[in-house]
Amino acid sequence: MATPAAQVLKTTLAAEPGTRVGGALVSVENALLAIVFTAAVMLPLLEIALRGLFDTGIEGVSTLVRHLTLAVGMLGAAVAAREQRLLTLAVTPLLAGKHAGLARLVSSSIAAAISILLAVAALEFVAIEREAGNTLVHTLPVWVAQIPLPLGFGLIALRLVWHAADSRGAQIAAAILTLAAFLLLQHLLTSPQPATGPVLMVIGVSLLLGAPIFAVIGGAALFLLAGSGVPPAAFAVNHYGLVINPSLPAIPMFTLAGYLLAESQAPKRLIVLFHALFGRLRGGAALVTVLACTFFTSFTGASGVTILALGGLAMPLLLGSGYQQRPALGLVTAAGLPGVLLIPALPLILYAIVARVSLEEMFLGGLLPAALMLTIVAAWGVARQQRREPEEDRPEFDWSHVRTAFDSAKWELSLPVVAVLALASGLATPVEAAAVTAFYAFVITTLIHRDLGIIRDLPRVVAECGLMIGGILLILGVALSLTNYLVDAQIPDALIAWVTQTIEHRWTFLLALNILLLAAGCIMDIYTAIVVLVPLLVPLGHAFGISPVHMGIIFLANLELGYLTPPVGMNLFFA
Amino acid sequence: KIASIAPSGSLYHRVLQEIGEAYRNSQGPRARAIVYANSLQGTEADTVRRMRVGQLDGSMLSIVGLSQIDPSVAALQFMPMMFRSWDEVDHVREQLRPELEAKLAAKGFVVLMWGEAGWVQFFTKEPITRPEEFKRTRIWAWDGHPAQVNIMKTMGFRPVALPIADILPALETGLIDTVPVAPLWSLVGQFDRVTRYMLPINWVPIVGATVFTKRRFDALAPHVQEAVMTTARAGAEKLRAHRAVQDEESIRAMRTRGLTVQTMTPEIEQAWREVASQAWPRLRGTMVPTDTFDKVRASLEAYRARTD
Ligand code: NA
Ligand code: NA
């Protein structure tokens, strides 16, 4: 009898991102990214060990790890540009049609020109810091640790020009256009009247033509700051400010844990276990899907990765127990939703960082809403079952099955326990807890289960994770300049005055906020939305008596919902 | 444009606003002066970088920020129990001032005024007083100063280097259980919610200065420079008059929230003095340049010989 569980066991992993081999440079770049990333994970572990065993430690370890994270971010962003996976707007209305090629060439050239501007600003900053002569740790000069900034922006600019067109001739045209745009913008930027208005319009158009978001935010911030007399090098000071945040390295580390799990056989083991537990119940397949997806999303933070890892396993399970194609697809897509509110989900940590809330507070604040959402999504899933399968078709509840499945999945299941214990016990800082989690995921997937080969798979998975993190940290970095401009121009204060005048009631504000966030979730990814909107909306929420933690829950839930909703429904593309 | 990490509305903020006002009044009606309080322009190290690239013109810094410009200033703040009173701090600072200001000027910064912000005291979870007891606890150390962490370790303490923002959560989870900070910080950061005991030890003074980039200062007309400097001097006097009161006020406020201030017996103080003086040779030549260190010692000895 072909029970769903048997089908699951037969199904192989759907997620296998193609490894591209494109010359020595690509391998060197990937290897470098993997090495820096690994070093960032290993240093905190070494520190914990030294502290525990010998009451000693590594000099300036947290400073070092934060700078390594910056390097991971810039290198990852350069790789993302190489693979044409820099984040863009989800809707690029002007890109369609027969002029698509032209739109791509123009938007890429403008983005490349801005990227060169940013590289030049960063280079200027590094030169100034070099002259100042501060040391980071021991004898390592600070300026050396800042080199990834100009290097990263430079590499991104080159890749943007390269990918601006397919033919050699058009690429040369893009290079010329980029150079001309750079010279013009550089001239404007250093002149007393930087023509901020017209430049912002051009940048806005390039966004609609499909330019990467980082270039749009970075270019806008550069010219807005220049308009109020702030020199371009200040942009790099802001971006470098990423390293000040103590929680920043937690982002790549927790995400790496999720990527390792997603690439291993962990999804299968979890599905088998949940199926052994709940398969007997009516709508059990839905419950299994929701639990497994939530578990995974809390690690990967991205529903897309969850869907890639679990979609291929959950779909046959759902179809086999009386679900139609569309509701099943919808369920797989929405099933990870509650996981976004659970630590260590990347959106949750990113929100905590941008809103300056402690990770622990965000974690506790997210528990109850996550449980509520889990109940709603599961109930909705159970209700969507079209044809009720007769009871005898459902698998018998069998303790020995449960025991076997549990035995096989116990390591994965203990991962969140390890993460939370490390955080709450006082044995580790948040970053150390993240490093422990990543290392534990490494041990599970490569040493215990041997799903991943250390040589065969690890560099690829680490580089893939670095690419994704790089795209997000790049936007976070450039957005710091935008925030710096907003603070400089005292815009949050003005916004609070205007909104509190227009909207009187807290409930009206909450309604407006929900609509705004749903809309934002429709046109941009959740990370960009957090980075751009949080600095504006958290002070507003404060004015209406809404705490940053409460605000965070509203934020994440709405953005994720908007993310799932048509017209764009980015998550749906993955399914 | 001047920045500060001090809370907006605090005396520090007001002093900076007065300097801005003096600039505006002497420069002319079209001049603008903006004071960013509350860390709006980032940490102290951040504001130093912003001054270097030309985004900010000035910043009010403690030794933590100043030592990013020149390490010799560390002599005023990083040597535990070296100073026994504000008078001693004032005396040594006045002695070193020409040299320190020359060093800062060589790095492109003009000192508008020097100022202090209270003494660092030990805040603990348990009612402990002796050095041996402290060696069993986990002590918070400033994240930006690896050398300081190393020295604490060689002295037998267990420092945990964390950014300031992590202190409260780390206290709550037990990652640290002792925090050496000035009372105002403990009050504002609400550390006393977890650390219910304070040992009044006067470990080190918090010393600082308001600096201006030399580039911008030299570009000002002489009468504007004069007006700014006069106001800054008056501001320094206000801070000086306030520094002792501020510690008392902060401690009083925390006592009403339940803080217990422990008694420092001469015997305990002596035990701490021995521990602290063991650290001095380790600081010399690492955190504090050798020549500055020797000058501080000589200056203090001369001062004590005169006043005793
Ligand atoms: Na930036
Ligand atoms: Na997501």
Q: In what order do the strands lie in the sheet with B205-213?
A: B35-36, B2-4, B58-62, B205-213, B109-119
Euclidean distance between the first and the last CA atom of chain B, given in angstroms as a whole number: 45
Tell me whether residues B162 and A62 touch, CB distance under 8 A: yes
Beta bridge partners of B119: B205
Number of H helices, E strands in chain A: 25, 2
Helices A233-240 and A213-227: crossing angle, nearest 10°? Answer: 120
Quote the pLDDT of residue A570. Answer: 47
Quote the pLDDT of residue A1. Answer: 32
Residue A198 CB neighbours (<10 A): 11
Does the pLDDT of residue A468 top 60, yes or no? yes
State residue A394 phi and psi, 5-degree precision: -80, 150
Instruction: Give the one of A60, A138, A429 whose C-beta lies nearest to B175's C-beta.
Output: A429
Residue A63 contacts B where some CB pair is shorter than 8 Å: yes
| Confidence category of residue B243, pLDDT binned at 50, 70, 90 | confident
Residues of A with CB below 8 A from B166's CB?
A: 246, 358, 429-430
CB A340 within 8 A of CB A372: no
| Confidence category of residue B41, pLDDT binned at 50, 70, 90 | confident
Q: Report the mean per-residue pLDDT for chain A.
A: 83
B54-78 confidence digits (pLDDT tens) = 999 999 998 888 988 988 888 888 8
DSSP-assigned letters across all residues of B24-38: HHHH-TT----EE-T
CB A149 within 8 A of CB A77: no
Tell me whether residues A63 and B146 touch, CB distance under 8 A: yes
Residues of B with CB below 8 A from A128's CB?
A: 52-53
From B85's Cα to the closest Cα of chain A, the distance in A is 32
Q: Point out the least confidently predicted range of B6-20, B226-240, B271-285.
A: B6-20
A521-564 confidence digits (pLDDT tens) = 777 778 888 888 898 888 888 888 888 899 999 888 888 777 66
Tell me whether residues B143 and A62 touch, CB distance under 8 A: yes
Within A209-345, residue ranges assigned H as helices are: 213-227, 233-240, 250-263, 266-278, 284-300, 303-320, 325-334
Instruction: State yes or no: cis peptide before B159, omega within 30 of 0.
Output: no
Quote the pLDDT of residue A92. Answer: 59
- Rounded to the nearest angstrom, the distance between the alpha carbon of A559 and the centre of ligand 2 is 9
Quote the pLDDT of residue B162. Answer: 75
Quote the pLDDT of residue A80. Answer: 93
Quote the pLDDT of residue A350. Answer: 87
Residue A539 contacts B where some CB pair is shorter than 8 Å: no
Q: Minimal CA–CA distance to A226: which of A123, A121, A126?
A: A121
Burial of A1 (0-12, 13-18, 19+ CB in 10 A): exposed
As a whole number, mean pLDDT of residues A345-350 equals 86
What are the residues whose beta carbon lies below 5 Å from ligand 1 (ion)?
A 238-239, 477-478, 480-481
- Residue in this structure with the two tokens 């490349």, named with its chain if needed: A112
Q: By three-state DSSP, how is residue B59 classified? A: strand
CA atoms of A451 and A264, how far apart (whole Å): 5
Q: Point out the least confidently predicted range of A41-55, A148-162, A196-210.
A: A41-55
Tell me whether residues B53 and A231 touch, CB distance under 8 A: yes
- Share of residues in chain A with pLDDT > 90 (%): 27
Quote the pLDDT of residue B261. Answer: 95
From B287's Cα to the closest Cα of chain A, the distance in A is 12
DSSP state of B111: E
Residues of A with CB below 8 A from B43's CB?
A: 244
Quote the pLDDT of residue A137. Answer: 79
As a whole number, mean pLDDT of residues A24-42 equals 89
For A247, nearest residue in chain B (alpha carbons): B166
Tell me whether residues B68 and A134 touch, CB distance under 8 A: yes
Is A300 or B44 the better-scoring residue by pLDDT?
Answer: B44
Tell me whether residues B161 and A62 touch, CB distance under 8 A: yes
As a whole number, mean pLDDT of residues A358-376 equals 86
Residue B166 contacts A where some CB pair is shorter than 8 Å: yes
Three-state DSSP string of A435-504: HHHHHHHHHHHHHHCCCCCCCCCHHHHHHHHHHHHHHHHHHHHHHHHHHHHHHHCCHHHHHHHHHHHHCC
Quote the pLDDT of residue A543. Answer: 84
Does the pLDDT of residue A575 top 70, yes or no? no
Quote the pLDDT of residue B13. Answer: 86
Residue A427 contacts B where some CB pair is shorter than 8 Å: yes
As a whole number, mean pLDDT of residues A184-189 equals 92
CA atoms of B123 and B179, how far apart (whole Å): 5
Quote the pLDDT of residue A207. Answer: 86
| Confidence category of residue B256, pLDDT binned at 50, 70, 90 | very high
As a whole number, mean pLDDT of residues A348-370 equals 84
CA atoms of B165 and B142, how far apart (whole Å): 11
- Residue in this structure with the two tokens 């390490």, named with its chain if needed: B71
Residue A429 contacts B where some CB pair is shorter than 8 Å: yes
Residues of A with CB below 8 A from B106's CB?
A: none
Tokens of B289: 């340049």
Residues of B with CB below 8 A from A360's CB?
A: 169, 172-173
Tokens of B91: 């005396």
B107-120 confidence digits (pLDDT tens) = 999 999 998 888 99
- Rounded to the nearest angstrom, the distance between the alpha carbon of A330 and the centre of ligand 2 is 15
B157-170 confidence digits (pLDDT tens) = 888 877 776 788 77
Does the pLDDT of residue B174 top 80, yes or no? no
As a whole number, mean pLDDT of residues B77-100 equals 89
| Confidence category of residue A81, pLDDT binned at 50, 70, 90 | very high
> pTM score, two decimals?
0.85
What are the residues whose beta carbon lies below 5 Å from ligand 2 (ion)?
A 302-303
Is B255 or A248 the better-scoring residue by pLDDT?
Answer: B255
Three-state DSSP string of A141-178: EHHHHHCHHHHHHHHHHHHHHHCCCCCHHHHHHHHHHH
Tell me whether residues A487 and B40 touch, CB distance under 8 A: yes
| Confidence category of residue A343, pLDDT binned at 50, 70, 90 | confident
Quote the pLDDT of residue A70. Answer: 95
As a whole number, mean pLDDT of residues B79-99 equals 90
Tell me whether residues B173 and A360 touch, CB distance under 8 A: yes
Q: Minimal CA–CA distance to A271: which of A493, A95, A8?
A: A8
CB A15 within 8 A of CB A224: no
- Residue in this structure with the two tokens 């890109």, named with its chain if needed: A95
Quote the pLDDT of residue A3. Answer: 32
Instruction: Give the one of B55, B146, B149 whose C-beta lies nearest to A231's C-beta.
Output: B55
Residues of A with CB below 8 A from B68's CB?
A: 132, 134
Tell me whether residues A241 and B107 touch, CB distance under 8 A: no
| Confidence category of residue A319, pLDDT binned at 50, 70, 90 | confident
Best of A125, A134, A225, A493 to mutate (most B CBs within 10 Å, chain B): A134
Residue B170 contacts A where some CB pair is shorter than 8 Å: yes
Ligand nearest to the CA of A574: 2
CA atoms of A11 and A5, how far apart (whole Å): 10
Q: Report the mean per-residue pLDDT for chain B.
A: 87
For the ranges A6-10, B228-232, B279-283, the maximum mean pLDDT occurs at: B228-232
